[in-house]
Amino acid sequence: MKLIKKAKYWIILSIIFTYALTFIGGFVRVTDSGLGCPDWPKCLDRWYPPLKSSDVPEDFAKYYSNYNCVDGEDCDEFNILKAWTEYLNRLFGVTTGIVITIMFFYLFRLRTDCKLAFYLGGGAFFLTIVEGLIGKYVVSSHLEGSLITIHLLMALIIISLLIMSYSVTLYKSINIKSSYTPSQINIINWIFIFMIAGIILGTQIRESLENFIPLSVMGPFKYIHSFVGIGILMLTGVLWNKINDDELIINTKNQVKWLLNIFIVQIGLGYFMVFGGLPIYAKLLHMWLASISIGIIVYILMDIKLSKVE
């Protein structure tokens, strides 16, 4: 039992660190700091970025290959702040990897009693290594949009695996299991499907904006994305109403409430970005809340999987 508690602690810590890394990575993206350090894993062939302008090598532009100069970007000055923003993102990524490695060590010791949790945590551990390599190619590709999307989706998969692993270990220590009706389960499944569709559409919109395609000429994507978001909000409202009307034990009522609140904020942020000129902090929060909502719905789905249907 003591070993399970330690494993749960490190799984929770891994989830927190991964979410924090997702936020930091989003901050790097919206501040255009992704090429603050143009090479990987070093920065201008150093193990840490320059501390002052005199530390910047005169030939620093060569590290950018054809990106900054040929594509019309200013190569006269090196942005030290952006370099440190990107480098701290990398350092926090390494720290997160260490935390997940420690988590995997405890799950390995539990592999006999919690085999499923071990496999799920092992998957997160393996994909974390892959995620680090993808980060390298994101930099070497000069921030290729499709690679950035894969980088984000991989982070969501890692978070999902960590939450699923936590759910399995938690299930072994609780005495009261949830009970769901078939209609509640159907609504939750549809919410999940619409959320995945919304994220895919959102990545398409982001890539279009990064290619300097304005919202006004973007086509149906922006409207479909909005309708999907409103549909998710309505479904979650119906689910909240159902779980409060039914006299069943549901351990995830608070999670459904959080989900409903997040979707309300997300709809507001979406319209604020459309009419407010796409401020960077709104884009960052919109993306991060989407990743949090995925984690919550995965937790609810795991509770259904491990519980019973009435």
What pTM does this model have? 0.85
List of long-range contacts for 70-78, beta carbons under 8 Å, 24+ apart: 78/50, 78/53
What's the rounded Cα separation, in Å, for the pair 202 and 149?
10
Q: Are 221 and 207 in contact (CB under 8 A)?
A: no
Q: Find tokens 């034990």 and name the residue.
A: 249
What confidence tens digit (pLDDT) does each residue in 120-170 have?
Answer: 999 999 999 998 888 877 776 666 767 777 888 899 999 999 999 999 888
Burial of 217 (C-beta count, 10 Å sphere; 0-12/13-18/19+): exposed
Residue 75 has pLDDT above 60, yes or no: no
In this structure, what DSSP letter does residue 75 have?
Answer: -
DSSP string, 174-240: -SPPPEE-HHHHHHHHHHHHHHHHHHHHHHHHHHHHHTT--GGGS-THHHHHHHHHHHHHHHHHHHH
- What's the average model confidence in pLDDT over 277-292? 83
Q: What pLDDT, in 10s, does the model give residues 245-283? A: 766 677 788 889 999 999 999 888 877 776 666 677 888
Task: Specify the range with the lowest mean pLDDT, choosing from 94-103, 219-228, 236-245.
Answer: 219-228
- Rounded-to-integer distance, Cα 192 and Cα 265, Å: 18
Q: Give me the phi and psi of 46, to 5 degrees please.
A: -120, 160
Residue 76's pLDDT is 56
Query: pLDDT tens-digit profile of 2-27?
Result: 888 898 999 999 999 999 999 998 88
pLDDT at 306 over 90: no
